[in-house]
């Protein structure tokens, strides 16, 4: 099998390959799976595999719904170090963690509004 971007070019993917392809953390992947927000896996014996083509279609559908926002903020190195430590503690990339915390704050605000 050929390798591309660190993922084997195969029809079926392991959970680790799938969450990397979807640019999700391990915990985000399993939360999405628990709430049925990702395509269903194929069960082969006792193993679960995800179809690469289904994941590609799912990602494309999500990207079609998402809006891209670019923000430019001046922050201190101390703030960057703090957020980096927080992201590392959760096993997330800094950008992913910042988006995650903003989404949590947004959903909390929405709940308080209702």
Give per-residue pLDDT as tens, 58-101: 888 877 776 666 667 787 888 888 888 988 998 888 888 888 88
Residue 15's domain comprises 1-67
Q: What is the pLDDT of residue 52?
A: 93
85 and 105 in a single domain? The answer is yes
Per the model's pLDDT, the better-predicted residue between 15 and 71 turns out to be 15
- Among 99, 79, 85, smallest CA distance to 24 is for 99
User: Strand, coil or helix: what is 43?
Assistant: strand
CATH (domain of 19): 1.10.1660
50 and 62 in a single domain? The answer is yes
Residue for token pair 């194929």: 42
33 and 49 in a single domain? The answer is yes
Q: pLDDT band for position 50 (50/70/90)?
A: very high
pTM (global) more than 0.75? no
54 and 83 in a single domain? The answer is no
Number of domains observed in the structure of the chain = 2
Give dist(CA 33, CA 45) in Å, integer.
19
- Among 57, 22, 63, 83, smallest CA distance to 31 is for 22
Neighbours of 97 (CB within 10 A): 19
Per the model's pLDDT, the better-predicted residue between 5 and 97 turns out to be 97
């Amino acid at each position: 099998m050929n390798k591309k971007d660190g993922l084997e070019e195969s029809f079926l993917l392991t959970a680790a390959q799938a969450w990397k392809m979807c640019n999700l953390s391990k915990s985000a992947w399993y939360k999405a799976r628990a709430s049925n927000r990702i395509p269903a896996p194929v069960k082969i014996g006792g193993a679960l595999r995800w179809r690469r083509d289904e994941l590609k279609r799912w990602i494309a559908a999500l990207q079609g719904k998402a809006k891209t926002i670019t923000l430019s903020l001046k922050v201190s190195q101390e703030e960057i170090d703090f957020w980096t430590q927080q992201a590392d503690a959760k096993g997330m990339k800094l950008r992913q963690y910042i988006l995650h915390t903003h989404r949590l704050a947004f959903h909390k605000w929405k709940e308080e509004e209702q």
